[in-house]
Copies of this chain bind each other. A is one copy, B any other.
């Protein structure tokens, strides 16, 4: 019959079959401290053919280090941005011997709190919070004595953070459109009122992007038209669809003087915009130009979307590095702002252009 509980061998068992003490086994495992070549070989052999696998929990208990890092994100299914950030954190962490444990908060403050509690119970060495819903939650983790880093949105002033340069990114998008000759440019983006902000920066992500839009128009001598500004949420957390982008764009197309370009501050919104334009039988970019933000879905859309890229890879990796630094005692909560850039694909052109 099969060997029933194929229980994983323990250090002590290894020690016994190798005829040494657990201390010695531990030493060869960690290749640390003195150990005679003869014994090391003997132990190594037993380790190998017994398929020994250290029990990380026991080790963590003893060393008070879990080599795990918690990552809290909104629903990972709602926006590919979060998946990319998560993957980046994961990769960087792995390279440093860390495992990333992900928790979704679905945009719900209570759920976020619970997620942080669970992660704290598992004694994460550090915590990375992407899009924190409440400063209190972030500070809950700080109070527990853990290193915390924020990504994308600075909700609490008390941790290091890595964010993209939202103002400049939006300015670049506008410069691109205006440079192409557009003057009737609509803005489809997040609503500062619906995404309340009480953080350390003067303005929220949404306010920064909107401000960039306004200032870019002003500098170009173009009047801001309130009916060209459509604000709301980025996506439907349960549905995860581009619904809002569609609706806003439909509304814009109903205007008697419709815009020649749409600046959507999220690729998910832009995807909906492209759909609405298609349904209205307008061609992109011939009839209307569209530019997005994030560079997530962009490459998969039709037409391929010109968009403002955020360095998601670097942001995730940098967040991990900041967390490690904080763990190492670097206490200053510096904010790293990362550059964005426009990726030119096929969705923008001069107004009225007919290829």
Query: B56, A268: Cβ atoms under 8 Å?
Result: no
Contact A87/B80 with A55-B123, A57-B122, A117-B53 known, Cβ cut-off 8 Å: no
Query: A275, B302: Cβ atoms under 8 Å?
Result: yes
> Which residues of A are interface residues toward B (Cβ below 8 A)?
5-8, 51, 53-58, 60-61, 66, 75-77, 80, 83-84, 86-87, 90, 99, 101-102, 104, 117-118, 120-123, 143-145, 241-242, 268, 271-272, 274-275, 278-279, 297, 299-304
Q: Can you show 30 pairs from A to B with CB atoms below 8 A apart?
A: A6-B144, A7-B145, A8-B144, A51-B144, A53-B120, A55-B121, A56-B121, A56-B122, A57-B60, A57-B61, A58-B61, A75-B87, A76-B83, A76-B86, A77-B83, A77-B84, A77-B87, A90-B104, A99-B101, A99-B118, A99-B122, A101-B101, A102-B102, A271-B301, A271-B302, A275-B302, A278-B303, A279-B303, A301-B301, A302-B302
Query: A300, B271: Cβ atoms under 8 Å?
Result: yes
* Top-6 shortest CB links A-B: A6-B145, A271-B300, A57-B57, A274-B302, A302-B302, A77-B87
In the complex, what distance in Å separates the CA atom of A297 from the CA atom of B144? 40
In the complex, what distance in Å separates the CA atom of A175 from the CA atom of B346? 34
In the complex, what distance in Å separates the CA atom of A90 from the CA atom of B302? 32
Which of B5, B75, B121, B297 is within 8 Å of A145, CB to CB?
Answer: B5
In the complex, what distance in Å separates the CA atom of A280 from the CA atom of B117? 53
Please name all residues of chain B whose beta carbon is closer than 8 Å to the beta carbon of A77 when the two chains form the complex. Answer: 80, 83-84, 87
> How many copies of the polypeptide does the oligomer hold?
2
Which B residue sits closest to A5, measured CB to CB?
B145
- Min Cβ gap A54→B in Å is 6
Please name all residues of chain B whose beta carbon is closer than 8 Å to the beta carbon of A55 when the two chains form the complex. Answer: 61, 121, 123
- Min Cβ gap A294→B in Å is 13
Please name all residues of chain B whose beta carbon is closer than 8 Å to the beta carbon of A241 when the two chains form the complex. Answer: 299-300
In the complex, what distance in Å separates the CA atom of A140 from the CA atom of B144? 38
- Min Cβ gap A169→B in Å is 21
Please name all residues of chain B whose beta carbon is closer than 8 Å to the beta carbon of A304 when the two chains form the complex. Answer: 275
Please name all residues of chain B whose beta carbon is closer than 8 Å to the beta carbon of A121 when the two chains form the complex. Answer: 53-56
In the complex, what distance in Å separates the CA atom of A119 from the CA atom of B42? 27
Which B residue sits closest to A64, measured CB to CB?
B7
In the complex, what distance in Å separates the CA atom of A299 from the CA atom of B240? 9
Query: B76, A66: Cβ atoms under 8 Å?
Result: no
- Min Cβ gap A289→B in Å is 15
Please name all residues of chain B whose beta carbon is closer than 8 Å to the beta carbon of A279 when the two chains form the complex. Answer: 303
Query: A8, B145: Cβ atoms under 8 Å?
Result: yes
Which B residue sits closest to A67, measured CB to CB?
B122
- Min Cβ gap A145→B in Å is 4
- Min Cβ gap A303→B in Å is 6
Which B residue sits closest to A119, measured CB to CB?
B99
Which B residue sits closest to A297, measured CB to CB?
B300
In the complex, what distance in Å separates the CA atom of A53 from the CA atom of B242? 40
Query: A104, B87: Cβ atoms under 8 Å?
Result: yes
In the complex, what distance in Å separates the CA atom of A64 from the CA atom of B329? 34
Please name all residues of chain B whose beta carbon is closer than 8 Å to the beta carbon of A301 when the two chains form the complex. Answer: 271, 275, 300-302
